Structure 1
Amino acid sequence: MNHKKYTFLICIFLLISNSISAHEGGHGIPSKQWELTTNELFKAHFISYENGEVWLMDGNHSIQTFQITDFAEADQKFIKTKNEFIHSLNSRTAIQLGSQSLSIFDWALIGFGILLLSFSVFKLIKQKTVVYLTHGVLGLGVILIVSCKNVNSTKTNNLEVPENNVAEMRAFFERFEDVSTHSDENYLYVSSNGLPDHDMMVGITNWQQQVPIKQNYTGDNSWAIPTHPKMAEHPLSTKTNLLKGAIAVAVNGIPIFNPLNNRGEDANAIGELDNWGGHCGRADDYHYHLPPLHLQDQVGAWNPVAYAVDGFPVYGETTDTLDEYLGKTNPDGSYQYHTIKEYPYFIAGMRGEVQLDPKTKAPENQVYPQPRTQELRPALRPLRGAEIIDFKFLGENSYSLTYSLDSKEYIINYNWDSEDNYSYQFINPDGSSKLETYTPRK
C-alpha cells in the first residue's frame, strides 16, 4: 500500500469516527408540536418519560409535566418510542478509563493508532525508510484525537459542583436581626419581614410613589435557595429573561431583582434606585436591583453578600478573570458570581439550573418557587420631577418619607398596627394634609 492510499484510509477512518460519535439531532434539542386530548396544540422539547409522567421544556426553558394520557394517541406512541430509544442509548457498553468513558469504537481507534505506530517504528528500524515515519505520526495523531475528544467531552458534560455548606450559609444570613433560616434536603429557606436595617429610598429621582412596608416572607412563603446547585447546560441570559421576580437574596433577607426593570431598562441608569441600590415595587415591597456591596461592611469583603436563586454565592468585585456570566469556577469545582461597576453589574446569566414559573413568559419570566407579595395600595404612576430627599424611622412600624417637587417639600408619614391596619398621612407644603387607611385583603 503506497503513502497516498495509507493517508486516505486514515482520513476515512476519522470521518467514520466523527459520524458515529455524533448524537441524534446535533447539539440542540429538537422541538416538536404536541397535541393534547383537549385538541390544544403547542411546541416543546421532550425531556423524559417516567411512571406515567411526561416532562417537556418550552422555548422559554419552562419545565412542564403532563400525564401521558393527556396526549393524543399518536403523541403517546411517539413518547414511548422515544423513551425506549433513549434507554437503549444509555445502556450501550462503555469502558471506564479514569474519570472518562471510552466507547468500544474509541478503543478500536486507539488500537488502530497503536498498530499503525508500531508498524511504522518496526519498518523504520528494518528499512530506514522515512515514509514510515509519516505513518507513525499519523498513528500517533489518531490516538491523540480520540483522547482529546473524550477529555473535552468530559469537561463539557461535567456539570456537577460541590453541594453548599448549609451551616455556613445559615451563619451569613442569621448575622442580621429579623432574618431566620431553616432547611430541608433541597433548599435553605430564608425568612424576613422584607425591611433592611439601613435607610431606604433616598436618592430616587424616578419614583412611582410607593413606600416600603413589611412583607410576610415566612413559613411556606420564605425565599428558597438550592443547597445542591448544578451547572445548567443552557444558562439563561438575564438580559432576555427573568425581568420578573428575584434572581438572588441578599444575606440581610432582602430580595435582589434583575438590574433591568420589567420594561427592560437599566433601573439604576434611569434614577429608579436609592443610594443602596433598591426601591419599592407595586406591592410596596422593598428590593434591590444592584448587588448590595454596602453589606460588606457587616459580613466582610471576603464573604458573600447574597446567594443567587440557582444556589451560587454572590461576592463583591475581584481582579480575577470572570466568565461571560460574571462568575468563576474555583479549584474545588464550586462556582461563584462577582460584581462589576457597570451593567450588567452581576449575574449576566443564570449559570445554575433553575425551574421557571410556567405561568410566566420571557422576558418577564421568573424562577420558581418565588414568595408572594400582597398589594395594599393601588399601583401609582411615576411622579415626574420628584426626588426623595429624606427617610426616617419614627418608631415601631412607623416611618416618614420626604420628597421634593418644584422646590417644595412634601411628607408622607405612615404606620401600621398589630392588626395590620395601615394609615398614611400626606402633608403638603402649606401644612394641609390628607389621611388614607388600608387593610390587606385576606
Structure 2
Amino acid sequence: MKFLTLIAGVSLSFVAGTAQAHDDHCAAVAASVDDAGFADQVTVTCDDSHAFITSDTYPDHEKMTGIVGTNEQVPVPGEYAAPIILEPTLGNTPLTRDAALGVAVNGVPIYDYTAGGEMTEADLAHHQAEHDTVQTEQLDACGGHAGRGDDYHYHAEPTCMIQEMANVGDDAIIGWAFDGFPIYGDNNPDGTTIAEGDLGVCNGQIDDLFGYRYHTSEDAPYIVQCLMGEVPDFDALPRVRPLSVAGGGGAEPGIPPRGGVEDLVFTENEEGSRSMDYTYEGESYYIRYAPSGTSGCYQFETRTVTNGGEVSSGERCR
C-alpha cells in the first residue's frame, strides 16, 4: 500500500505495508538500542505490528538531585513494554495524552514538557508556562523526574542518557515515538542546524528515511509534545502501574511544596536502598525505601511536606 501525505506544503510519498518495510523498521528499532549501548538494559522484540522496547524504566545515570519543584514522588523500577508501530503512517490531527508519547533508547518513557494533564489541540500552539516542567524546576539535570506513578521519565532532552550513548552524535536515534517515528537531538541527522520554523507543532519534520522524525530543542516544547502519526490503539497505550499500599489502597499523590524545596539529593547503594532528602522552610524531609521480601515491593519510611511532616512507614508494591 502506498501512502501520500501533505504536510506544511511538502509532498511525502513512501511505501508501507510490505514485509520489507516491517522487517527494516524492526531492525532499525533494535539497532538504535544496540548501537547506543543499552542492549544489556533493554530488550527489543517484534510482532506483526509493533516493536516492543521493554525495560524497568530505571536508568543508571544520576536521578532527581537538584530538583526544586518536587512533587515528593520517587523513582521506583517497574516493568514497561513500549510499543513502536512498525509501519508508521502520518495522520491529519496531532495526538496528545497525559502519559508517555514515546520511549528513549535506554527504556525510559518520554512525556511532553508539561505537568498539567493532557493538552488540548489549542494548547499545543501556546507555551504552557505555568505547567512547563523546565521553567518550574521540576526536572533534574538529566531532563527527568519521578511522576505520579513513582516512575522515572523524561520531559525534556535526556542529556545524561545522551552522554552515555556509545554512538553519541547528531545521526544517533535517541528514542522512538509510539507512532513509529524516531526521535533525534537538537540538530538534523547530517549535523546541520534546524532552521527556525522547520519544526512543526509536535517538534518534528519530514524525514527522507523514516517519513517523519521528532527532535529535542533548547526552547519549549523541548521534546515530542504530540504525535503526528496514526496510532490505532491510542487509548490502549501503556502506563506505568502506580505504587499501591500493601493490602490495598494507593499512596496520596504528591503536591509540590509551595515555593519549592532546597538541597534535594537522591542517593542509592548497590543493595537497592534509596533515599531522597531535602529541606523546606528550614525543616528536613526525606523519602527512604528499599526492596522488601516481596517481589515488586519496597519498604518505605517517609517524612514529607504532603503528610504534614509526620513520619510514616509501610510496604508499597507495583
Structure 2 residue ranges without an equivalent (≥5): 120-130, 188-192, 245-250
Instruction: Specify the alignment match of 1:171 in structure 2.
Output: 31
- Equivalences for residues 9-408 of structure 1 within 5 A: 158=13, 160=15, 164-174=24-34, 175-176=37-38, 177-217=40-80, 222-232=81-91, 234-236=92-94, 241-242=96-97, 244-263=98-117, 265-297=131-163, 298=165, 299-301=167-169, 302-318=171-187, 319-321=193-195, 322-324=198-200, 325-332=202-209, 334-355=211-232, 357-358=234-235, 368-376=236-244, 377-384=251-258, 385-387=260-262, 389-408=264-283
Cα displacement (A) at 1:378: 2.5
Q: Provide closer, same or farther for how the CA distance between residues 231 and 202 of structure 1 changes in structure 2, counting only shifts above 3 A.
A: same
1:417 corresponds in structure 2 to 292
How far the C-alpha of 1:259 sits from its partner, in A, is 0.8
Deviations, residues 346-365 of structure 1 (Å, cap 9, x unaligned): 3354221123645xxxxxxx
2-structure distance, mates of 1:332, 1:277: 28
TM-score normalised according to structure 1 size: 0.55
- Report the CA distance between 1:407 and its aligned residue: 3.7
Residue in 2 aligned with 1:16?
none
Change (3 A) 1:349 1:371: closer
Q: CA separation of 1:408/1:392 partners in 2, compared to 1, >3 Å: closer, same or farther?
A: same
CA distance in 1, matches of 2:226, 2:183: 13
**How far is the alpha carbon of 1:372 from its aligned partner?**
4.1
CA distance in 1, matches of 2:57, 2:144: 12
- Which one-letter code corresponds to 1:374 in the other structure? P
Q: Which has the higher helix share?
A: 1
What is the percentage of aligned positions where both structures have the same residue? Answer: 27
* CA-CA distance at 1:335 after TM superposition: 2.2
Structure 1 pair 388–235 and aligned structure 2 pair: CA distance change class (3 A): farther
Equivalent position of 1:28 in the other structure: none
Check whether the contact 1:201–1:388 (CA below 8 A) recurs between aligned residues: no
1:282–1:375 contact (8 Å) kept in structure 2: no
Over 3 Å counting, the alpha-carbon distance change for 1:311 and 1:357 in structure 2 is closer
Given residue 154 of structure 2, which amino acid in structure 1 is its aligned partner?
Y
Distance 1:427 1:353, change over 3 A: closer
State the alpha-carbon separation in 2 of the partners of residues 347 and 235 from structure 1.
15
Query: Which amino acid is 1:183 matched to?
Result: C
Give the drift of 1:326: 2.9
Output the CA distance in 1 between the equivalents of 2:62 and 2:110. Answer: 17
Using the TM superposition, give the Cα deviation of residue 413 of structure 1 relative to its aligned residue in structure 2, in angstroms: 2.2
> What residue identity is the alignment partner of 1:397?
G
Deviation at 1:183, TM superposition (A): 0.8
Q: Which moved more, 1:205-214 or 1:322-331?
A: 322-331
Q: Could you tell me which amino acid in structure 1 is paired with residue 194 of structure 2?
A: D
Q: Post-superposition shift, 1:375?
A: 2.7
Largest Rg, 1 or 2: 1
**SS, match of residue 317 in structure 2:** coil
Q: Which has the bigger relative contact order, CA under 8 A and spacing at least 6?
A: 2
Q: Deviations over 1:166-205 (max 9, x none)?
A: 2232133243233112111211111111211112111211
Residues 259 and 355 of structure 1, relative CA distance in 2, 3 Å threshold: farther
Contact kept, 8 Å, 1:310 with 1:353, in 2: the verdict is yes
Q: From the superposition, tell whether residues 348 and 401 of structure 1 become closer, same or farther in structure 2 (CA, over 3 Å).
A: closer
Contact 2:72–2:254 (Cα < 8 Å) also in 1: yes
The structure whose residues are more often strand, as a share, is 2
Counterpart of 2:115, as a letter, is: N
Structure 1 unmatched runs, 5+: 1-98, 100-150, 359-367
* CA distance in 2: counterparts of 1:400 and 1:382, whole angstroms: 18
Cα gap change, 1:293/1:439 in structure 2, threshold over 3 Å: closer, same or farther? closer
Q: Is the 8 A contact 1:283 1:375 kept in 2?
A: yes
Q: Residue 149 of structure 2 contacts residue 240 of structure 2 at CA under 8 Å; is this kept in 1?
A: no
Cα root mean square deviation, aligned: 3.0
CA–CA distance in structure 2, aligned partners of residues 190 and 314 of structure 1: 14
**Larger deviation, residues 393-402 vs 159-168:** 159-168
Distance 1:208 1:349 in 2: 24
Output one character per residue of 1:242-297: Cα deviation in whole Å (capped at 9) or x when no partner. 2x111110111010111122345212111221111111122211111113133222
**Aligned counterparts of 2:15 and 2:206: Cα–Cα separation in 1:** 12
